[in-house]
Amino acid sequence: QVQLVESGGGVVQPGGSLRLSCTVSGFTFTNLGMHWVRQAPGKGLEWVSSIQHDGLYQWYSKSVKGRFTISRAVSRNTLYLDMNTLRPEDTAVYYCAKDREYNRRIFDYWGQGTLVTVSP
Amino acid sequence: DIQMTQSPSSLSASVGDKVTITCRASQSISTSLNWYQQKPGKAPKLLIYGASSLQSGVPSRFSGSGSGTDFTLTVSSLQPEDFASYYCQQSYTTPITFGQGTRLDIK
């Protein structure tokens, strides 16, 4: 069955860095785009970043562009989000999600989420 | 950026009620509209994609309609497990955007 498992969250000081991982199984990783979506405490869903099925193209929200980098390691079936210059407003649960269909940006399976807290 | 506006922001209803949630896009998105359900402490779950297609495993009491800028999610007869938050999302273009959410509570 399809599984997505995030890891790497934690507490970090403002200006710090963190790498999130999302290890997947149960589907062909190279066939589908992958995404990161976050949710600040008590708030709604916010799209963060996407990567095309082949890794050739990446997209970012304005709020993270230039600070976050999305990537994928095919041999490890793992999606990454490298987060630099973190700000308190980046505090959120970060979810990875997979495309339902080839690059359609429909999120049919999600991980359980990993909490990132940016605090002095 | 395409803005997605849901209404209402919150809603109280009873088991067995029919409820409708609306989502409006700031520009036409054809039928590139998806609906998610989220329960507290859990990841969102895809309910409807392409405005009106039911995701596999989702009960048929959920339905979606609309195209262009105006969309609706309808639950025909609320069950206890349906009390949750609901989000619309446009997949027409990046940046991908979500509505602010609708919280559905038990009356």
- Give A-chain residues touching B44 at CB under 8 angstroms: 37, 45, 95, 107, 110
Q: Which of A44, A70, A43 is nearest to A57 (CA)?
A: A70
Whether residues B97 and A47 touch (CB distance < 8 A) is answered with yes
Q: Residue A111's CB: how many other CB atoms inside 10 A?
A: 23
- Closest by CA to A47, choosing from A39, B45, A55, is A39
> What is the rounded average pLDDT for all residues in chain A?
96
pLDDT at B19: 97
% helix, strand, coil for chain B, step of 5: 5, 50, 50
Q: Are B94 and B1 within 8 A, CB to CB?
A: no
- Whether residue A110 and residue B44 make contact (CB cut-off 8 A), yes or no, is yes
- Residue A103 clears pLDDT 80, i.e. is over it: no
Cβ atoms of A94 and A113 within 8 Å: the answer is yes
* Interface contact A41, partner B, CB < 8 A: no
Of residues B89, B88, B86, the one with CA closest to residue B105: B86
Nearest Cα to Cα of residue B82 among B60, B52, B50: B60
Q: What is the mean pLDDT of residues A42-56?
A: 96
- Per DSSP, chain B holds a count of helices (H) and strands (E) of 0, 11
Q: How many CB atoms lie within 10 A of CB A13?
A: 10
Interface contacts (A, B; CB < 8 Å): 55
**Which one of B30, B91, B102 makes the best mutation probe of the A interface by having the most chain A beta carbons within 10 Å?**
B91
Nearest CA to A108 out of A7, A24, A19 is that of: A24
Name the E strands within A1-120: 3-7, 10-12, 18-25, 34-39, 45-51, 58-60, 68-73, 78-83, 92-99, 107-110, 114-118
Which stretch of DSSP H or E encloses residue B90?
strand B85-90
Distance CA B32, CA B103 (A): 23
Q: Residue B4 has what DSSP assignment?
A: E
Tell the burial category of B24 from Cβ atoms under 10 Å away from its Cβ (0-12, 13-18, 19+): middle
Are A113 and B43 inside 8 Å of each other by CB?
A: yes
Q: Which residues of chain B have pLDDT under 70?
A: none
- Give the mean model confidence (pLDDT) for residues A75-79: 96
Cβ atoms of B84 and B13 closer than 8 Å: no
- Read off the pLDDT band of A102 (50, 70, 90): confident
Report chain B residues whose CB lies below 8 A from the CB of A47.
Answer: 89, 95-98
* Least CB–CB distance from A106: residue in B87, B91, B99: B91
Look-up of token digits 């497990």? B81
